[in-house]
């Protein structure tokens, strides 16, 4: 191999072309995504709630949420024309509208962070259990099966008790720990089918270590699926968090939609016909969960993680 001339490719141009390719790919992705109305609808809802979550502190001053600052308000006052009280008051005389806006914050933060945590654990375990044959892979597979059967609420209760207080971060960790097995199973199945591709064989023959095979070849090929799946996991995590809040298992000082429903249930809002404290929080949960579900389903189609294509 001595005959041919040395190459004359300048590094910057390689970069530039690569950058160009990324841009083209991104543009193609956006175009493909925007062909799905339901996906765009999901993005729209999500953007709305993100805006609400970000602006809540500016639009609704914190005193509106303080039980002691609203003692003079009447309890379960029906909706009125005054902006803060468009949605009436709750069992403590606070503005329901303000609570709804503030409640968007923990839903999004916990939902996204816990899902990312589940994504990381699930992807690591899933790839490892699909790639390694023998004892290690088998153990990872078993571990997934084991975590899959743990009963959700009791596990959360005990984990929280073990971890100490119930801050929002503890909730993130607890939900992350309980949400990864589904991702791991999915990633494992996908890893197995990537493993059967000849380029993995080629990678082995070229001398790649297990680690290099996983990072260079398997991970990039399971990533689209993981991203779509994580988006769907956010939806499930938000529902789980709502359940926990409803059972009084979140930080009691945190304003959340599930917590609002807990108060509504505990103080008999349904029996008193206080629909404004009962219906809007549920609709907010549904809207956000629906948004992530719609986006996730669209990503599944658009990123089309069928192997070999792309």
- Total residues in contact with another protein, by rule CB under 8 A: 88
| Residues within window 233-252 making contact with another protein, judged by CB under 8 A | 235, 239, 242-243, 246-247, 249
Helices then strands, counting H and E runs in the chain, come out as 11, 0
Regarding 289 and contact with another protein (CB under 8 A), the answer is: yes
- Of 39, 171, 159, the residue nearest 105 (C-alpha): 171
Phi and psi at residue 34, to the nearest 5°: -75, 0
Regarding 310 and contact with another protein (CB under 8 A), the answer is: yes
Tell me which H or E stretch contains 192.
helix 168-195
Supply the minimum distance, in Å, between the C-beta of residue 71 and another protein.
27
CB 115 within 8 A of CB 296: no
| Residues within window 211-230 making contact with another protein, judged by CB under 8 A | 212, 216-217, 220-221
CB 60 within 8 A of CB 102: yes
Question: Which residues are bridge partners to 95 per DSSP?
Answer: 89
- Give the distance, in angstroms, between the CA of residue 101 and the centroid of all CA atoms in the same chain: 19
CA distance 295 to 42: 6
Task: Report residue 8 as tokens.
Answer: 């004359």
Regarding 151 and contact with another protein (CB under 8 A), the answer is: yes
- Return the number of the residue (6 or 71) whose C-beta is nearest another protein: 6
- Return the number of the residue (73 or 193) whose C-beta is nearest another protein: 193
Binding segment toward another protein, per CB under 8 A, in 70-78, 110-118, 169-177, 195-203: 195-203
Binding segment toward another protein, per CB under 8 A, in 47-55, 71-79, 106-114, 158-166: 158-166
CA distance 226 to 124: 11
Regarding 167 and contact with another protein (CB under 8 A), the answer is: no
- Return the number of the residue (64 or 239) whose C-beta is nearest another protein: 239
Neighbours of 102 (CB within 10 A): 23
- Of 176, 158, 64, 80, the residue nearest 119 (C-alpha): 176
CB 194 within 8 A of CB 221: yes
Interface residue with another protein, options 89, 115, 123, 190 (CB under 8 A): 190
| Residues within window 23-62 making contact with another protein, judged by CB under 8 A | none
Binding segment toward another protein, per CB under 8 A, in 60-68, 70-78, 172-180, 204-212: 204-212
- Return the number of the residue (12 or 198) whose C-beta is nearest another protein: 198
Binding segment toward another protein, per CB under 8 A, in 74-82, 98-106, 114-122, 161-169: 161-169
CB 256 within 8 A of CB 245: yes
Supply the minimum distance, in Å, between the C-beta of residue 20 and another protein.
10
Binding segment toward another protein, per CB under 8 A, in 15-23, 49-57, 81-89, 97-105: 15-23
CA distance 172 to 174: 6
CB 298 within 8 A of CB 270: no
Regarding 275 and contact with another protein (CB under 8 A), the answer is: yes
- Return the number of the residue (89 or 129) whose C-beta is nearest another protein: 129
- Return the number of the residue (94 or 185) whose C-beta is nearest another protein: 185
Regarding 309 and contact with another protein (CB under 8 A), the answer is: yes
Supply the minimum distance, in Å, between the C-beta of residue 66 and another protein.
26
């Amino acid at each position: 191999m001595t005959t041919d001339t040395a190459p004359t490719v300048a590094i910057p141009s390689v970069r530039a072309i690569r950058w160009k390719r990324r841009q083209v790919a991104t543009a193609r992705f956006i175009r493909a995504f925007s062909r799905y109305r339901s996906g765009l609808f999901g993005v729209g809802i999500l953007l709305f709630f993100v805006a609400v979550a970000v602006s809540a502190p500016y639009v609704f001053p914190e005193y509106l949420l303080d039980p002691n600052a609203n003692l003079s308000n009447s309890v379960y006052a029906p909706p009125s024309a005054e902006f803060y009280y468009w949605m009436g008051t709750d069992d403590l005389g606070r503005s329901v509208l303000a609570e709804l806006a503030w409640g968007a914050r923990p839903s999004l933060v916990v939902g996204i962070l816990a899902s990312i945590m589940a994504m990381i654990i699930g992807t690591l375990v899933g790839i490892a259990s699909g790639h390694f044959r023998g004892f290690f892979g088998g153990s990872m597979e078993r571990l997934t099966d084991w975590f899959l059967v743990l009963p959700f609420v009791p596990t959360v209760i005990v984990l929280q008790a073990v971890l100490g207080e119930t801050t929002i971060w503890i909730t993130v960790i607890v939900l992350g720990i309980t949400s990864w097995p589904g991702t791991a199973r999915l990633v494992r199945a996908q890893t197995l089918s990537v493993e059967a591709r000849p380029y993995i064989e080629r990678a082995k023959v070229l001398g790649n270590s297990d680690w290099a095979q996983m990072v260079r070849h398997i991970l990039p090929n399971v990533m689209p699926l993981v991203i779509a799946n994580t988006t769907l996991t956010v939806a499930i995590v938000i529902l789980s968090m709502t359940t926990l809040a409803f059972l009084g298992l979140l930080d009691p000082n945190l304003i959340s939609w599930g917590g609002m429903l807990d108060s509504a249930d505990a103080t008999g809002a349904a029996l008193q016909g206080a629909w404004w404290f009962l219906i809007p929080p549920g609709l907010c949960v549904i809207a956000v969960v629906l948004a992530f579900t719609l986006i996730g389903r669209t990503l599944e189609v658009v990123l089309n993680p069928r192997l070999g294509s792309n």
